[in-house]
Amino acid sequence: MSESTQVRRVAAVQMHAVLGDVDANLDLAERAVDQAARDGARVVALPEFFTSGVAFLPEVAAAAQPVDGPAVQALCGWARTHDVLLSGSLLVRDPDGEVRNAVLAVDRTGVRGRHDKDLPTMWENALYVGGTDDGIVDVDGTKVGLAVCWELTRERTVRRLAGGVDLLLAGSGWWTVPRWRPYRLFDAWERANAARALQTPGRFARHVGAPIVHGSHSGALACPMPGLPPLRYRGAYEPMAGIWAADGTAIALATGPEAQVVIADLPLRRATPVPPPDTYWLTPPGPLPLFAWYQQRWHGRRWYARHRRGAPESAVGPGRSPSAPSSTMS
């Protein structure tokens, strides 16, 4: 990495996504990128699933696009217009018929690299399958590491990136714990979940030894609970957009749950990685998220195999959003 790249102005985007509405979300993302560029940002991290949000809903499942589709063309256009490096993930339908959660790094020259999230989280198993790449992209001599959401909570992600990157670009769509009875118990679980969400990017940066720019969703969402028909999820995304140094120090954080762009001047300086704990999770998820990790994975994989594997997406017409499938998610 050259001396001129030691400090960059970067931006982390916090979005209120419209679930499954690719057109609306591209408009929101474009406005955020425009604002970041006006404020001088040279690197912009959009959230995970920035084109669709994430929920167990048919319109979200139907938001998958080919990697050369309108959403990626829009990313390339924004990067070219503003001469910025962009990252963000979206559901991509690949030529082999599988859908993947693809994190793209895009600059003025086009797509510079891609990382497919290794393991779907909870109900995400109904939407896509995992990948196996290392997530490291060389952008003109800067080694960029790509990761999203619960990848940042697992030791295996640290192993693939630690000591090997100058900058981490990441994003999340991290759900709150629903407020079910008994309220005191679920409220306590949510306080722990919110604290874990906000601490995760900085902790991950410290274990990898590189600064991180992390976009996120925020705002309310509701959807069915996979495999649990009597229950309906009503909650929100944890607001956790921000920028952290390589030692885990927070440089700039979202000021609340509203949609916003977080800007900071970030030294692209590596640090000696702090060895992670010798455990699967960097921090324990808590009882309810851990139950959902297994139960929704089992149900989601079965739903994906029946409804999404190899299913052609609806043709994209004058707008940019494919039509939702007729099957309900149950």
d(CA 303, CA 125): 8
Query: Residue 182, SS3?
Result: coil
Instruction: Average the pLDDT over each of 64-78, 211-225, 314-328 and give the range with the smallest value.
Output: 314-328
Answer whether 215's CB lies under 8 Å from 241's CB.
yes
> Which pLDDT tens digit goes with each residue over 216-266?
999 999 999 999 988 999 999 999 999 999 999 999 999 999 999 999 999
* Residues contacting residue 159 through CB under 8 Å, at least 6 positions apart: none
Domain map (residue ranges) of the chain:
3-307
Query: Residue 258, SS3?
Result: coil
φ, ψ dihedrals at 161, nearest 5°: -120, -20
d(CA 26, CA 39): 20
Check whether 326 has a pLDDT greater than 80. Answer: no
The confidence score (pLDDT) of residue 309 equals 87
Check whether 321 has a pLDDT greater than 70. Answer: no
Give the Cα-Cα-Cα angle 52, 85, 144 (nearest 5 degrees): 95
Q: Looking at this protein, which amino acid is placed at residue 307?
A: H
Q: Under the phi-then-psi rule, with left for phi > 0, alpha for psi from -120 to 50, and beta for the rest, what region is 122?
A: left
- Nearest CA to 160 among 113, 111, 204? 204
CATH fold label, 3-307: Nitrilase/N-carbamoyl-D-aminoacid amidohydrolase (3.60.110)
- Nearest CA to 116 among 143, 81, 148? 148
Answer whether 222's CB lies under 8 Å from 181's CB.
no
The confidence score (pLDDT) of residue 315 equals 35
d(CA 123, CA 214): 22
Measured between its terminal Cα atoms, the distance across the chain in Å is: 50
How crowded is residue 225: how many other Cβ atoms within 10 Å of its Cβ?
A: 18
pLDDT, averaged across the chain: 93
Confidence of residue 313 (pLDDT cuts 50, 70, 90): low
